[in-house]
């Protein structure tokens, strides 16, 4: 299980390939890439703030729970912070399990939990100034299905 | 007791600093918030609606009713928006 919180860009293809190559007894590897979205068409950049220390702890705890619940053979979480441009990769997840149902479910669980339980905050800088992205009720509701 | 108090996102912006050391005898998070609010308007503005805030004690999410005994680091922030 690997958790990385970093300002630097990451190479989704290389990370995915290395993860899959390392998961030798897995029958299924699921990867997910999160990209900075520009809904308004005027997003200049996004700043991602986090809580160093707690972020790594929270992500490791979420990944450990996913690993235990779905008997994962391995899991990878990379999340960036700092200044990002629209279209840039912001985070990725990879899960490896014996079967695809476990790998998919664990990846969805990781996504749902890191959205509202890992201490990241996004601020969008656009044509109308800067706005903190508000948490959605639907993100909180998503946790109840687990 | 001395506590490190951290602020993130718009809470940090409203209060105007990311971190400070607070000398307090507050028994709970809610008591600490009441002390901070009484200090200055910018704290009152940041803590105007605590239902819009989250708190972590020593880097674990907690409730505003949680006791502060043995705690070294308190962090206040809005609901998280990772992913």
Give the pLDDT confidence of B62-71 residue by residue, as tens digits: 999 999 999 9
Instruction: Report A:56-115 residues touching B (Cβ under 8 A).
Output: 57-58, 79, 90-91, 111, 114-115
B59 vs chain A: nearest CA distance in angstroms?
5
Please list, residue by residue across B46-59, b when 16 or more beta carbons sit within 10 angstroms of its beta carbon and e when fewer do.
bbeeeeebbbbbeb
**CB of A135 within 8 A of CB of A119?**
no
Q: What is the pTM for the complete model shown?
A: 0.94
Average pLDDT over residues A58-71: 97
Question: Any idea what the CATH number is for the domain that residue B26 is in?
Answer: 3.10.20.30
For chain A, say whether B6 makes contact (Cβ under 8 Å).
yes
Interface predicted TM-score of the whole assembly (ipTM), two decimals:
0.95
The model's confidence at residue A24, banded by pLDDT at 50, 70 and 90, is: very high
Domains and CATH numbers, chain A: 2-145 (3.90.1170.40)
Number of domains, chain B: 1
The model's confidence at residue A16, banded by pLDDT at 50, 70 and 90, is: very high
The Cα B15–Cα B33 span in angstroms is 13
Give the pLDDT confidence of B7-55 residue by residue, as tens digits: 999 999 999 999 999 999 999 999 999 999 999 999 999 999 999 999 9
Q: Angle at CA A4, nearest 5°, toward A112 and A134?
A: 40
Most A-contacting residue of B4, B62, B79, B80 (CB-CB within 10 A), to test interface: B80
In a domain, B68, yes or no: yes
CA atoms lying within 13 Å on the CB side of residue B57 = 14
**CB of B7 within 8 A of CB of B53?**
no
In a domain, B83, yes or no: no
Residue of A nearest to B73 (CA): A54
In a domain, B14, yes or no: yes
Give the pLDDT confidence of A67-122 residue by residue, as tens digits: 999 999 999 999 999 999 999 999 999 999 999 999 999 999 999 999 989 999 99
Residue of A nearest to B7 (CA): A51
- CA distances to A116, A141, B23 from B4, rounded to whole Å, are 24, 32, 9
Contacts of B79 in chain A (CB under 8 A): 116, 134-135, 140
Q: Which residue segment(s) compose the domain that B67 sits in?
A: 2-77
Determine, for residues A121 and B6 on separate chains, whether the beta-carbon distance falls below 8 Å.
no
What pLDDT sits at residue A39?
Answer: 84
Q: Which of B59, B61, B78 sits opposite A121 (nearest CB)?
A: B78
What pLDDT sits at residue B66?
Answer: 98
């Amino acid at each position: 299980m690997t958790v990385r919180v970093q300002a630097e860009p990451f190479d989704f293809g290389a990370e995915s390939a290395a993860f899959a190559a390392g998961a030798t007894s897995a029958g299924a590897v699921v990867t997910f890439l999160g990209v900075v979205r520009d809904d308004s068409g005027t997003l200049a950049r996004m700043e991602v703030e986090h809580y160093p220390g707690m972020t790594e702890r929270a992500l490791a705890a979420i990944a450990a729970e996913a690993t235990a619940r779905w008997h994962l053979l391995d899991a990878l979480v990379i999340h960036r912070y700092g200044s990002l441009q629209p279209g840039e990769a912001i985070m990725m997840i990879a899960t490896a399990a014996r079967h695809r149902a476990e790998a998919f479910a664990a990846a969805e669980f990781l996504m749902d939990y890191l959205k509202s339980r890992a201490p990241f905050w996004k601020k969008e800088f656009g044509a109308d100034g800067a706005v903190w992205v508000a948490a959605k009720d639907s993100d909180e509701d998503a946790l109840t299905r687990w | 007791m001395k506590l490190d108090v951290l602020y993130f996102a718009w809470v940090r912006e409203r209060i105007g600093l990311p971190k400070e050391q607070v000398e307090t005898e507050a028994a709970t998070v809610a008591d600490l918030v009441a002390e901070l609010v009484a200090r200055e308007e910018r704290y009152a503005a940041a803590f105007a609606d605590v239902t819009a805030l989250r708190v972590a004690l020593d880097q674990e999410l907690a409730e505003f009713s949680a006791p502060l005994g043995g705690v070294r680091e308190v962090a206040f922030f809005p609901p998280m928006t990772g992913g």
